[in-house]
Amino acid sequence: MAIKSILFDASFIIPNVGKSVRYGIFRVEKAWLDYLVSRKDLSIYFSFRREGKVSILGPEHTEHVSAILDDPSSLRLGALERLVWKLGRPRRAVKLEVRRRARATVAESSEDLSRIVRSLMPGGGWFLSFSMDPGADAFLRNIQLGGLKTAIMLHDTIPLDHPEVCAGDLDKMLERIIRHQAQSGDLLLCNSADTAESFNLHARRLKGGDPLARPVIAHLGLHKAPSHLQGSLPQPLKANEPFFLILGTIEPRKNHLFLLNVWQRMMAQNRAAVPRLVIAGRWGWKVDDIRRQLEAFAQAHPEAMTILESPEDATVAALLAETRGMLMPSIAEGFGLPVLEALREGIPVIANDLAVYREIAGDAPDLCSTDDPEGWARLIESYARQKVRVQPPHIPTWDEHFEIVMAAMSRAA
């Protein structure tokens, strides 16, 4: 059945207005928003959940929502909203702007929500969400009572599988989401077969039987690499100096301390030439001890480790152009965009031996268990000798992703 209307969950946008770092979820939402805007045969509505209320914007505000995601400084704000923005509260300004433009704003748990959804989208349609939290049970139930089916993405089950490396109560939130999907969901969008398998395991545990929501496996695509960025290597790096890069948020799950152990081992064994480790990213959560150890080592051995906090895009481009290899010792991943992004550019990747990496990249990366630090040291030494580039594997495209998801939604409509 042809799909005519979609209610797009844009709730993740407001809390991240003005942040310079774009998370993986941002990339997914951006790709989907661009795609939906290009589909002139669809009526796109937008829902924003904040502080227990949900605001719904109509298709006439598609460009406005795109601006919030792309460049919030370009928004045509009302007088009150401009004042709030000037007072240094951009997220508050955008929230007020959204509510001013909304067709309706109502409590998430209110039964009025189902009536409003039905009046705006009388022919039914889909609620599409890529947020970490698509909403409480009452909200999703009201959406379904309003005549919409739900297609919700599960990015990973890491908070349930490894709660010790995650922040706050993410495990409880994820358990609630999986339980609802198992009992009442329609489609569960999974970025990998590995994520789908994990969902089924947890869903059966929580429901006591097969989940109602059907997993749809659709690998994520990659955005085009920016060709206009021209940066230079930051001091003290030099183009002819061998260095390896770990890129992204510095948090326990990314396993930076494993690399510290590898570098300490190489130095203790008096290996001929220990390359430099470059850690580039912002500090995340649960990192006090990690930060202390990394900064102490970098201070004691500046020739062996450099930490670049929240580098600019041009700097990252320069790092990728010159690095001998990308290092990915993550304890767990739902997909692994950085692996594919590096391989697309021919950059060698040394990564932990995770099932999801085998699924998305085959044998293109060098996969070595983090139980084998000596194996990592040998691989690093091998790539340090000279700069090489590798043959990329098949890189998933966004068009492939959209086709899989839209086809599943059409079949289930």
Both tokens of 334, joined, read 């739902």
Give yes or no on whether 5-221+398-412 and 243-384 have one common fold.
yes
SS3 of residue 336 by DSSP: coil
Nearest to 101 by CA among 59, 40, 138: 59
pLDDT at 226 (0 to 100): 65
Backbone angles phi, psi at 206, to 5 degrees: -80, -30
Domain ranges (residues) in the chain: 5-221+398-412, 243-384
Both tokens of 109, joined, read 């748990």
Rounded to whole angstroms, the Cα distance separating 95 from 388 reads 48
CATH top-level class for 243-384?
Answer: alpha beta
Enumerate residues 6+ apart whose C-beta is below 8 A from 76: 64
CA–CA distance from 327 to each of 7, 110, 247, 340 (Å)? 39, 48, 8, 12
pLDDT at 123 (0 to 100): 93
User: Looking at residue 98, what DSSP letter applies?
Assistant: H
pLDDT at 16 (0 to 100): 73
Nearest to 10 by CA among 55, 53, 74: 55
Torsion angle of the four alpha carbons 327, 332, 336, 340, in this order, in degrees rounded to the nearest 10: 40
Both tokens of 403, joined, read 């086709």
pTM, full prediction:
0.91
Nearest to 327 by CA among 272, 271, 231, 261: 261
CB atoms under 10 Å from CB of 321, counted, come to 14
pLDDT at 20 (0 to 100): 53
SS3 of residue 44 by DSSP: strand
Cβ 29 vs Cβ 128: under 8 Å: no
Both tokens of 235, joined, read 């001091």
Cβ 256 vs Cβ 250: under 8 Å: yes
Residue-by-residue pLDDT tens, the chain, 413 positions: 689 999 999 988 777 776 654 567 888 988 998 899 899 899 999 999 988 999 999 999 888 888 887 778 788 888 998 898 888 888 888 888 888 999 999 999 999 999 999 999 999 999 999 998 999 999 999 999 999 999 999 999 999 999 988 877 889 999 999 999 999 999 999 999 999 999 999 999 999 899 999 999 999 998 777 666 677 899 999 888 999 999 989 999 999 999 999 999 999 987 667 999 999 999 998 899 999 999 999 999 999 999 999 898 889 889 999 999 999 999 999 998 889 999 999 999 999 999 999 999 999 999 999 999 999 999 999 999 999 999 999 999 999 999 999 999 999 97
CATH top-level class for 5-221+398-412?
Answer: alpha beta
CA–CA distance from 349 to each of 69, 193, 320, 324 (Å)? 31, 21, 12, 9
Angle, nearest 10°, between helix axes 112-120 and 137-145?
40
Nearest to 51 by CA among 149, 141, 119, 139: 139
End-to-end CA distance of the chain: 6
